[in-house]
Amino acid sequence: MDENCKIYSVTELNRIARMTLENGIGEVWVEGEISRLTRHASGHWYFTLKDEAAAVSCAMFKQNNAMVLFHPKDGIKVRVLGQASLYEARGNYQLIAHKMEEAGKGDLQEQFEKLKAKLAAEGLFDADRKKPLPMLPRKIGVVTSPTGAAVRDIINVLTRRFPNLEILLAPVTVQGPTAAKSIAKAIRYLNKVTQASRLHPDERDARATLGIDLLIVGRGGGSLEDLWAFNEEVVARAIAASDIPVISAVGHEIDFTISDFVADLRAPTPSAAAELAVPVQSELENQMTRLAARLGGSLRNRALVLREKIPGFRQSMNQSLRAGLQQRQQRIDEAALRLTHELKNSVTIQKQRLPSLQQSMRHALDSAVKENAQSVMRLKAQLRALSPLGVLDRGYSLTETADGTVVRDATAVKKGDRLKTRFAKGSVTSEILSKE
Amino acid sequence: MSEKTIDFEKSLERLETLVNEMENDELALEEMIKHFEEGSKLVALCSKKLTEVEQKIEKLVKKGDGLSTEAFEAAD
C-alpha cells in the first residue's frame, strides 16, 4: 500500500460519489414505468422507475409532488425530471424527482400548443363567438378558490365599484389533479342554475333568485404547473359552452392560458377581471344626473328662446293683422266707390238715350203712317185699273141687251133690238140699224 | 345575458340619443316635449336599475346530495 495513498472513510466515499453523480449527470429527464409507489405520511413519494432492463429508486418530496397534475400509480409510464444523486446513509443511488408528467403527452408547453391549435382549428377562439359582457351585471358568479388572495381581490374590487351587487362564489380547487374537473363542473352548474331561473322566473329558488349575468373564472399567480388546470381541455370546453359570458383571470399579466383564449374576455389579473366586470356605480349615477340635467336643460333653453321670441311674434302678428285689415278695408272702399260710380254712369247714359229714343220712335211712327197712306193710294189705283169701269175709263164701252146681258157676239142680236151702251161716264140706249 | 341588463344598456343609449337630438336645436317643440317625456322615464328607469339590487355575497356549499348557498366572508 502506498504511503501517499489517501484512505477514505465510507462517509467521504459516499459524499464523493454523490457529488460525482450530481455534477456528472445533473438534472435529467428520464422516462420509465412507475412501480412500488409509496405515498409516505410525511407527504413525500417513493417509487421505482424501470424499463425492460433496469430500475432506479426515486424520491419525490412533498413540495414537488404537489405540482403533479395527474394521479400517478404503479404501471403507468411517466417522464420524470430529476437530479441523479446518492442516499449517503445507505449508499443507494437514486433520482430526486422534481417534476413528473405522463409519458406520451409531451411536455406542458407541447400539450399547451397542441390543445391551443386544436381548439383554434375548431373555431373556439373566434372573435365572433365572444359574447358581449352585460353593461350592468346584477349577479356575478366567481369560480375560484375560496381561500387566497384572488377571491378577496375580486370581491373587494367588485363591491368597491358597485356596492349593491350579488356575488355567488363557486368554491373550486384551482391546482392539482382534480382542479380542472372541479372548475369545469362549477361553470356548468352555474349555467344550469341560471338557465333554470330564466325558465322559471317565478320559482324563487334559494340558490338563485336571479340568473347570473357574468362569470369570473380564475386564480392568482403561480408556476405553469400551478395554473395548469386552466390549460386543460375540460375547462376550455366548459367555458366555450357557457351561455353566461366568461371573464378569464388567471395568474399575472404575463400568463396566458387556454381559458384566456376561449373566454369572452381575458383579464390580466383577478382584480382586473373585477374591474372589467362592473362599472363604477357612482360614475353611472353621475352620468344619469348629467343626462337628466341636459334633458331638462335643453327643453328649458328652447322654452326660453321661444318665450323671448313671443313679443316679437305678437308684434309682427298685430302688424300683419293690421296691415291685412287696412288693405281689405281699402279694397272694400274702392269697390263701394266703383259701384256707385258705375250706377251713376249708367243712369246718366240711360237718361241721355231717352230723348233720342223718343225721337226715333216718333220718326218711325211717322214713316209708318206715311208708308201706309202711300200703299193705300197705290192699292186704290190698282183696284181701279182692274174694275170694268176702269176699262171704260180707258175708252172702252160696254154693250148690254135690254135685259142686261153683256153682248159679246153680234149674232146674239138682231136688227131693231135696243142696246144699252155704258161709257165711263153715263150710258145711252140705241137701236140696231143694221148688221154687217 | 339577462333581458334586464340589455334594458339598462339600451335605455342609456336611447337616453343619450334623445339628449343629443334635443341639444341639436333642430327638433320641433312638439318633438322636444315627446323626447323629454321619454327621456325622463328612461332616467327614472335607469336610476332605479342602479339601486334595485341588494348586495349579497354567497358561496355554494355541499348540503346532503345537492348544493346550497351560504353567506361568504372572505378571510383576511
Looking at the DSSP bridge assignments, the partners of residue B20 are none
**Strands laid side by side in the A398-400 sheet:** A398-400, A418-422, A427-431
Statement: residue A207 has pLDDT above 50: no
Among partner residues B15, B51, B58, which is closest to A291 by beta-carbon distance?
Answer: B15
E strands in A351-392: none
Q: How far apart are CA A58 and CA A82, in angstroms?
A: 9
pLDDT digits (tens, 9 = 90+) for A309-329: 888 888 888 888 888 888 888
Ramachandran assignment for A75, one of left (phi > 0), alpha (psi -120 to 50 degrees), beta (any other):
left
Dihedral angle over CA of A14, A16, A22, A23, nearest 10: -170
Query: Please, are residues A140 and A275 in contact by the beta-carbon 8 Å criterion?
Result: no
Q: How far is CA A250 from CA A123, A130, A185, A313, in A?
A: 22, 18, 18, 69
CA distance B45 to chain A (A): 10
Amino acid (1-letter code) at residue A405: T
Give domain limits for chain A: 10-105, 111-279, 289-386, 392-431
Q: Which of A133, A135, A205 to mutate to test the interface with B (most CBs of B within 10 A)?
A: A135
Mean pLDDT of A373-390: 79
A213 and B1: CB-CB below 8 Å?
yes
The torsion angles phi and psi of A133, rounded to 5 degrees, stand at -80, 145
- Banded model confidence at residue A360, pLDDT cuts 50, 70, 90: confident
Identify the pLDDT of residue A6.
86
Sign of CA dihedral A178, A184, A190, A195: negative
d(CA A229, CA A41): 26
Mutate to test the interface with B, among A281, A302, A305 (most CBs of B within 10 A): A302
Say how far apart CA A144 and CA A183 lie, in whole Å: 8
Contact criterion met (CB below 8 Å) for A143 and A217: yes
So what's the pLDDT on residue A200?
65
Is there a shared CATH topology between the A10-105 domain and the A111-279 domain? Answer: no
Residue A387 clears pLDDT 90, i.e. is over it:
no
Q: Which CATH number fits domain A10-105: 2.60.120.430, 2.40.50.140, 1.10.10.10, 1.10.260.40?
A: 2.40.50.140
Residue A413, strand partner residues: none
Query: Nearest CB to A135: which of B5, B18, B53?
Result: B5
pLDDT value at A332 more than 70: yes
* Cβ A72 vs Cβ A66: under 8 Å: no
Alpha-carbon distance of A152 to A320, in angstroms, equals 77
ipTM score assigned to the predicted complex: 0.80
pTM: 0.61
Q: Which residue of B has its CA nearest to A144?
A: B59
Q: What is d(CA A66, CA A225) in angstroms, rounded to the nearest whole number?
A: 10
Q: Are A207 and B16 within 8 A, CB to CB?
A: no
Alpha helices in A218-280 (DSSP H): 233-241, 258-262, 270-277
**Nearest-CB residue to B69 (from A138, A207, A288):** A207
Q: Over the stretch A42-54, which tens digit does the pLDDT of each residue have? A: 999 999 999 988 9
Pair type for strands A77-87 and A27-39: antiparallel
Contact A67, A99 (CB under 8 A): yes
Are the beta carbons of A32 and A78 closer than 8 angstroms? yes
Task: Check pLDDT > 70 for residue A174.
Answer: yes
Give the position of cell 355575497: B57
The percent of chain A in helix, strand and coil, each rounded to the nearest 5, is 50, 20, 30
Higher-confidence position of A209 and A36: A36
Those residues of chain B whose CB sits closer than 8 Å to some CB in chain A are 1-2, 4-6, 8-9, 12, 15-16, 18-19, 22-23, 25, 29, 32-33, 35-36, 39-40, 43, 46-47, 49-61, 67-69, 72, 74-76
For residue B16, give the DSSP letter: H
Taking an 8 Å cut-off on Cβ atoms, the answer to whether A298 and B19 are in contact is yes
Q: Would the pLDDT of A197 be above 80?
A: no
Coil/strand/helix, residue A227: coil
Instruction: Decide if A288 and B75 are in contact by the 8 Å CB cutoff.
Output: no
Rounded to 5 degrees, φ, ψ at B32 are -60, -40
DSSP A304-340: HHHHHHHHHHHHHHHHHHHHHHHHHHHHHHHHHHHHH
Residues in chain A: 436
Contact B59 A306 (CB under 8 A): no
Q: Using CA atoms in the order A218, A224, A229, A234, what is the torsion angle rounded to 10 degrees?
A: 110
Asked whether the beta carbons of A260 and A287 are under 8 A apart, the reply is no
Please give the class, per CATH, of domain A111-279.
alpha beta
Local structure of A168: helix, strand or coil: strand
* pLDDT value of position B47: 86
Shortest alpha-carbon distance between residue B23 and chain A (Å): 6
